[in-house]
Amino acid sequence: MCAFDCLGLQNGNPDQLAHDLLKGIIMVEKFWLGMAIILVSGIFNGSFALPMKYTRHWKWENTWLVFSIVGIFFLPWFMAFRFVPHLAEVYQTVPARVVVLAVMFGFLWGIAQVTYGLSLKAVGLAVAVAVVSGLACVSGALVPLLVLNPADLFRARGVFLLCSMPILFLGLGTYAVASRLREKEQRAPNPAEVSRGVSFKAGLALCIFTGVFGSAFNLGFAFSGDIIRRSIESGARPATGGYAVWALVLGAGFFPNLFYCLYLLFRNHTFTAFRQKDWLRETLLAVSMAVVWASGLFLYGAGATLAGKFGTSVGFTLFVAMSVLASTVLGVLTGEWKSTSPRTKKLLAMGVAAILISVVVLNLGGLF
């Protein structure tokens, strides 16, 4: 009985101990598998916009409208109906407040999608990415943990999450400085990129709003555990039970995107672009964006579910970090940093290194 004495289980049942140990090992393995899936999902999320670089005749609003219809509305509902049996019954048998919260968070996320575009025009890419990503990381990762599992904040994984955040912010800040220098060194090839019609303070306020509510899709997923559980009880697999949540969250977020695209199409008279030559090529580029983006989000949901109670906190931080890393690497590969000084490239490398270190620190919590 010495082994049990050492474990504080002097009167313990060996079979129960073996069962508990096996259960713990399975939970750890699921956590790591979930984090691995989230890592891949972040890469998808950071690279989905790449096809937009190759559009020729469509304006932003043309591409984004097709992207929104396919990726934000059609695919989530299609996947929900396809992989969640008795979907309508799932929604009917969960508390109404859960459904309302998912829709509300989705609509807020949709508004944040619109204000992010306005933020880019107001303050430029460098400031917008740093502020929005940083605030989204804080609100999206800490709120679920504080509300659902507050006691875990000061346990191993929660502590490593808190330790990784300052490193991530340092990386984002360094990235912002490098991006600002790049804009100056490349002599602002797109003068309209930073709007002079909006003050910097107003633009910064937009960034703050976008950062806080840009993570609302994660909050909608985190607080919809009842829907996921009911989906699994209805016959869905754990990896696909979240599709019922994404349909609500993204379906609600679709409408602000739709209205903004329609507004731009009317204001800029760009409806005619849909009838121009190469419309099929432009459509396929927009659809490919939608497929990559939606796949990334579906993978994130599956990974967060497998990772357990830390999926929407620790997992979301990893998701944000990998999204920034993926978009930065693709920017380098496609020549966005080509004509910049060695100093700027060094700052970019330092920013990327800090973000990578934050990812390592974040995942160290999985060892405890």
Sign of the alpha-carbon torsion through 42, 104, 144, 242: negative
Output the pTM of the full model: 0.83
Q: Indicate if the pLDDT at residue 356 is higher than 90.
A: no
Q: Rounded mean pLDDT of the chain?
A: 84
For 15-55, write each residue's pLDDT tens digit: 554 444 444 445 556 888 898 999 999 999 989 988 988 88
Question: What mean pLDDT comes out for the span 331-341?
Answer: 84
The Cβ-side half-sphere exposure at 68, using a 13 Å CA radius, reads 21
Which residue shows structure tokens 């090529």? Answer: 281
Short-list 163, 157, 137, CA closest to 27: 157
Q: Which amino acid is at 188?
A: A
For 249-281, write each residue's pLDDT tens digit: 999 999 999 999 999 999 999 999 999 888 999
CA distance 270 to 121: 19
3-state secondary structure of 150: helix
The pair of three-digit structure tokens given for residue 356, joined into one six-digit string: 């990578």
Residue 346's pLDDT band (cuts 50, 70, 90): very high
Looking at residue 87, what is its pLDDT?
96
Looking at residue 334, what is its pLDDT?
82
CA distance 367 to 345: 34
Q: Per-domain residue ranges for the chain? A: 33-47+57-367
Q: Mind giving me the DSSP string for 326-338?
A: HHHHHHHHTTTTT
Q: Indicate if the pLDDT at residue 2 is higher than 90.
A: no
The pair of three-digit structure tokens given for residue 91, joined into one six-digit string: 């929604």
